[in-house]
């Protein structure tokens, strides 16, 4: 559903105040001052594609400024990409000033002061998305803001037509398609910033690596939550599940498998820990996010070659000075007779089997 706000039916004396209010409410808090003395005219249309907002502005000549005081009123850090449809603008951020012409694109960070000066009537698309979803370093963003990117500038030549088409049809996509499109736009913006920040092409994909690191940290912090899943992670970072899986394509592990692996690692550590009153196996499993004790036991045995209780007994015996076979394939002791090890099991020399670490 589209949101359309216009000054057309507002009394002349109230148009400027109304325009300030609707622009600040639809985009981010900012101050808008008309450049001319006559009646002001403005129109803004906003669409939502999952966590991506696509807005189109048409207005008379104006000056737009976002100050530290206005930034403090914002509840969320956003990145924005503006596409100049008609007219021109002077954009200033991070100490750099650039002239934005028709067809140009400009990237800006709403968490730092900036200004636009439109000398005449203009139209522009504005794409806004949560900064955390982009996962781009502050240093790279500062290298890109304040520069106008034209249709002849490498990646911009492909991106600009796509954004123009997306803005004109943003309200026509079903929810599933909108979610996937939002994920694709995040990927495209991250690629744009990486290309502009590192024109030599030798720098790593900082956008993906930063976001991937944050996702891994989020998983580690929330292992005890039974609801932790690819879907919940995607919602937290306001990215699509498809894009989340793409982040992990080079990690040699799926998101769901990583969650289970980390839970098993923490359970194995706790079960191996000596304490005055050892917690029950089921309580350890529950503490680290396993809802079903049976599922936990199956997953643990599949990863470690023994049941959780057997693992605890083996580790306790080792801590008390008992000897365990150096390799699980050695079956000459009473321990291996009692606790047979599967062909895919790993050595029990440490609390973190190497197979788990390299999956």
Q: Based on the domain organization, do 97 and 13 belong to the same domain?
A: yes
Q: Based on the domain organization, do 88 and 181 belong to the same domain?
A: yes
Pick 261 or 191 by higher pLDDT: 261
**In the predicted model, what is the mean pLDDT of residues 349-353?**
37
Do the domain assignments include residue 212?
Answer: no
Write down which residue in 147, 165, 197 finishes a domain. Answer: 197
Q: Based on the domain organization, do 46 and 139 belong to the same domain?
A: yes
Using the predicted structure, report yes or no on whether residue 137 has a pLDDT greater than 80: no
Do the domain assignments include residue 221?
Answer: no
Percent over 70 (pLDDT), the chain: 81
Spatial distance between the Cα atoms of 330 and 341, rounded to a whole number of angstroms: 9
Do the domain assignments include residue 353?
Answer: yes
- Evaluate the CA torsion angle 345, 347, 349, 351 in order and state its sign: negative
3-state secondary structure of 49: strand
Average per-residue pLDDT for the chain: 82
Count of domains observed in the chain: 2
Write down which residue in 182, 197, 212 finishes a domain. Answer: 197
Q: Which residues contact 55 (CB under 8 A, 6 or more apart)?
A: 26, 27, 44, 45, 46, 47, 125, 126, 127, 128
**In the predicted model, what is the mean pLDDT of residues 38-59?**
93
**In the predicted model, what is the mean pLDDT of residues 205-224?**
80
Q: Based on the domain organization, do 76 and 161 belong to the same domain?
A: yes
3-state secondary structure of 300: helix
**In the predicted model, what is the mean pLDDT of residues 45-69?**
94
Do the domain assignments include residue 220?
Answer: no
pTM of the predicted protein model: 0.59
- The β-bridge partners of 148 are 106
Do the domain assignments include residue 246?
Answer: no
- Evaluate the CA torsion angle 91, 96, 102, 107 in order and state its sign: negative
Pick 336 or 80 by higher pLDDT: 80
Please, which pLDDT band fits residue 205 given cuts at 50, 70 and 90?
low
Q: Based on the domain organization, do 182 and 278 belong to the same domain?
A: no
Q: Based on the domain organization, do 7 and 118 belong to the same domain?
A: yes
Spatial distance between the Cα atoms of 120 and 140, rounded to a whole number of angstroms: 32
Please, which pLDDT band fits residue 110 given cuts at 50, 70 and 90?
very high
Write down which residue in 170, 197, 224 finishes a domain. Answer: 197
Do the domain assignments include residue 50?
Answer: yes
Q: Based on the domain organization, do 280 and 159 belong to the same domain?
A: no
Q: Based on the domain organization, do 121 and 13 belong to the same domain?
A: yes
Q: Based on the domain organization, do 280 and 169 belong to the same domain?
A: no
Do the domain assignments include residue 258?
Answer: no
Q: Based on the domain organization, do 173 and 292 belong to the same domain?
A: no
Please, which pLDDT band fits residue 21 given cuts at 50, 70 and 90?
very high
Residue 151, pLDDT score: 66
Q: What is the CATH number of the domain that holds 95?
A: 2.60.120.10
DSSP-assigned states of every residue in 170-184: GGGS-HHHHHHHHHH
Q: Based on the domain organization, do 161 and 304 belong to the same domain?
A: no
Residue 276, pLDDT score: 57
Pick 173 or 207 by higher pLDDT: 173
Of 85-99, 163-177, 228-242, the range with the highest mean pLDDT is 85-99
Task: For residue 331, give its domain range.
Answer: 269-358
Residue 207, pLDDT score: 57
Structural contact between residues 30 and 71, judged by C-beta atoms closer than 8 angstroms: no
Using the predicted structure, report yes or no on whether residue 95 has a pLDDT greater than 70: yes
Do the domain assignments include residue 211?
Answer: no
Using the predicted structure, report yes or no on whether residue 352 has a pLDDT greater than 70: no
Q: Based on the domain organization, do 273 and 144 belong to the same domain?
A: no
Residue 146, pLDDT score: 82
């Amino acid at each position: 559903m589209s949101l359309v706000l216009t000054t057309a039916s507002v009394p002349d004396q109230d148009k400027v105040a109304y325009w300030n209010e609707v622009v600040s409410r639809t985009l981010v808090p900012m101050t808008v001052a008309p450049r001319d003395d006559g009646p002001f005219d403005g129109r803004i249309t906003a669409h939502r594609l999952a966590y991506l907002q696509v807005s189109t502005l048409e207005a008379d000549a104006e000056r737009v400024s976002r100050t530290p005081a206005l930034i403090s009123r914002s509840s969320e850090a956003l990145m924005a990409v503006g596409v100049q449809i008609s007219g021109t603008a002077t954009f200033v951020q991070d100490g750099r000033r650039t002239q934005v012409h028709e067809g140009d694109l400009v990237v800006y960070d709403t968490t730092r002061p900036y200004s636009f000066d439109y000398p005449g009537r203009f139209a522009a698309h504005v794409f806004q998305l949560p900064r955390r979803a982009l996962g781009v370093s502050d240093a790279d963003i500062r290298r890109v803001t304040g520069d106008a990117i034209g249709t002849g500038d490498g990646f911009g030549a492909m991106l600009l037509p796509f954004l123009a088409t997306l803005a004109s049809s943003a309200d026509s996509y079903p929810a599933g398609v909108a979610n996937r499109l939002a994920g694709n736009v995040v990927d495209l913006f991250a690629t744009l910033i990486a290309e502009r920040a590192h024109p030599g092409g030798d720098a790593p994909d900082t956008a993906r690596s930063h976001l991937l690191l944050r996702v891994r940290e989020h998983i580690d912090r929330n292992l005890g939550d039974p609801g932790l899943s690819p879907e919940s992670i995607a919602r937290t970072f306001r990215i699509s599940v498809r894009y989340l899986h793409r982040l992990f394509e080079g990690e040699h592990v799926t998101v769901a498998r990583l969650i289970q692996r980390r839970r098993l690692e923490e359970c194995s550590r706790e079960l191996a820990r000596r304490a005055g009153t050892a917690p029950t196996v089921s309580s350890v499993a529950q503490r680290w996010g396993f809802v079903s004790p049976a599922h936990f036991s199956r997953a643990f045995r599949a990863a470690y070659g023994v049941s959780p209780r057997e693992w605890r007994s083996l580790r306790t015996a080792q801590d008390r000075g008992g000897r365990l076979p150096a390799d699980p394939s050695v079956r000459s002791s009473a321990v291996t007779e009692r606790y047979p090890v599967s062909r895919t099991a790993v050595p029990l020399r440490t609390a973190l089997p190497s197979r788990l670490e390299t999956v």
